[in-house]
Amino acid sequence: MKILVVGAGLSGAVMARQLAEAGHHMTVVESRAHVAGNCHTERCPDTGVLVHIYGPHIFHTADAGVWDYVNRFARFVPYRHQVRATSGGQVYSLPINLHTINQFFGKAFSPSQARAFIEETQARHDITDPQSFEDQALRMVGPALYEAFFQGYTQKQWGCSPADLPAAILKRLPMRFDYNDNYFAHPFQGLPEAGYTPLVAAILDHPKIDVHLNTPYTAQAAGRADHLIWTGPLDGYFNAKLGHLGYRTLDFERFTAQGDYQGCAVMNHPDRDVPYTRITEHKHFAPWESHEASVLYRETPRACTGDDIPYYPVRLLRDKALLSDYEALAAAETGVTFLGRLGTYRYLDMDVTIREALDAAAGFAKA
């Protein structure tokens, strides 16, 4: 079969690879000048620092099959992601752990003392069935920690009150009663030594795959194919005829410094009077390299309009209703597979993205 893939991010690349290995002829069109989608990395010519162009990306997974898959195409270096937060003029460690609790309350609690303290003096027991982000946070950590670490950050990140957001967003962040400050709890964690773009290029490197960069999708290209894999925006496929699905975009203010600017890869800034959410210092994502100069991104979220890059699907009530209308249209399309974070309008980590593409390709081969 001749199959057209729209998008050369992880979804499109993995799908193209799997279907090429199954004997299909794959053409991949990508509107950007590079492969790898939002995971794209590029070495800064002035400083030599490997930059995560669309924001910091750390590979972490509990899926051994996915971990084996990425290690087939690139060398991964073990990495342990640690995040700090500057709140009210002090620097804390995230996710909230025993060190954060002891420092914040000026105590020297043991794990069981800290658990009892939070449960008995902080957690809001009057909230019995938390549905919103705010209620979930108040129930879990109480008002003081909520205001210091979550309220301002989340308001800036999503552009609305945490009271209007689903509790599920907070569930991505654990609270720990030990000194473990590993941001992720997954057993496999690492970074591709040469960056994500060579990883994706290696996945796409197959004699039955043709990649065309700087090539937006056209209906004529689809006409020449027997099947279409769509990893672009779901509403974009239908020319947004029902309206636009809501996204947050990010403004990255890039700046350089000499030496070590902040001493860690990611410093969150949850305070409400600071306009940005976090600062990323890219060279800390490659601690095995040595660079005197440093490249940093100051990250400010805002509503996505026009030609902005869509980053985070908002999925508030209006978007959910619109999404189910688009899903009905997508289900009625024949010869098209919708895939990936844009094609299914969901926040997907890289490992889930790869798993879904592997499963979709396996399902396709069986059909």
- Residues engaged in binding ligand FAD (CB under 6 A): 6-12, 29-32, 37-39, 55-59, 216-217, 231-232, 311-312, 340-342, 348-351, 353
The Cα–Cα gap between 243 and 152 comes to 30
Give the CA angle between residues 97, 98, 103 to the nearest 5°: 105
Look up 276 and say whether it is catalytic: no
Neighbours of 253 (CB within 10 A): 11
Catalytic residue among 139, 278, 341, 355: 278
**Least distance in angstroms from the C-beta of 151 to ligand UDP:** 7
d(CA 90, CA 270): 11
Nearer CB in complex with ligand FAD: 125/241: 241
Please choose which of ligand UDP, ligand FAD, none residue 280 contacts, taking the beta carbon within 5 to 8 angstroms, the exact cut-off set by kind: none
Q: Quick one: 93 or 344, whose CB is closer to ligand FAD? A: 344
Instruction: Classify residue 310 as exposed, middle or buried by CB count within 10 Å of its CB (0-12, 13-18, 19+).
Output: buried
Cβ 93 to ligand UDP shortest distance, Å: 11
3-state secondary structure 248-278: EEEEEEEEEEECCCCCCCEEECCCCCCCCCE
The side-by-side arrangement of strands in the sheet containing 293-303 is: 90-94, 83-87, 266-268, 278-281, 293-303, 247-258, 312-313
Q: Is 172 a catalytic residue?
A: yes
Smaller CB distance to ligand UDP: residue 175 or 339?
175
Q: Which does 217 bind (CB under 5 to 8 A by kind): ligand FAD, ligand UDP, none?
A: ligand FAD
Residues that bind ligand UDP (CB under 6 A): 85, 94, 149-150, 153-154, 157, 169-170, 172-173, 268, 270
- The one catalytic residue in 139, 248, 315, 341 is 248
Cα-Cα-Cα-Cα dihedral sign, residues 170, 176, 180, 181? positive
- Which entry of 17, 84, 139, 176 is annotated as an active-site residue? 176
Residue 270 touches which of ligand FAD, ligand UDP, none (CB < 5 to 8 A by kind)?
ligand UDP
Residue 111 contact partner, candidates ligand FAD, ligand UDP, none, CB within 5 to 8 A by sort of partner = none
* Catalytic site includes residue 139: no
Q: 178 or 359, CB closer to ligand FAD?
A: 359
Closer by beta carbon to ligand UDP, 2 or else 272: 272
Which runs of consecutive H residues, i.e. helices, occur in the chain? 10-21, 64-73, 98-105, 111-117, 133-140, 143-145, 152-158, 196-204, 219-223, 234-237, 317-332, 340-343, 350-366
User: Of 14, 16, 70, which is closest to residue 210 (Cα–Cα)?
Assistant: 16
347 catalytically annotated: yes
- Using the minimum distance from each CB to ligand FAD, give the nearer residue, 47 or 197: 197
- Exactly one of 134, 181, 235, 299 is catalytic; name it: 299
Minimal distance in Å, beta carbon 250 to ligand UDP? 9
Q: Point out which residues pair with 299 in neighbouring strands.
A: 252, 278
What is each CA distance from 43 to 35, 49, 62, in whole angstroms? 15, 6, 29
Which partner, ligand FAD, ligand UDP, none, binds residue 127 by CB below 5 to 8 Å per kind?
none
Partners of 40 in the β-ladder: none
Residue 23 to residue 17: CA distance in whole angstroms: 10
Query: Could you tell which of ligand FAD, ligand UDP, none binds residue 169, using a CB distance below 5 to 8 A set by kind?
Result: ligand UDP
Residue tagged active-site, from 289, 333, 347, 359: 347
Q: Which one from 75, 80, 172, 318 is the annotated catalytic residue? A: 172
For ligand UDP, give the closer residue by CB, 11 or 157.
157
Bridge partners of 297, per DSSP, are 254, 280
Active-site residue, 69 included: no
- Eight-state DSSP code of residue 164: G
Q: Choosing among ligand FAD, ligand UDP, none, which partner's interface includes residue 149 (Cβ < 5 to 8 Å by kind)?
A: ligand UDP
Residue 157 Cβ vs ligand FAD, minimum distance, rounded to whole Å: 10
Q: What is the radius of gyration, based on Cα positions, of the chain? A: 22
* Active site residue ranges: 172, 176, 248, 278, 299, 347, 349
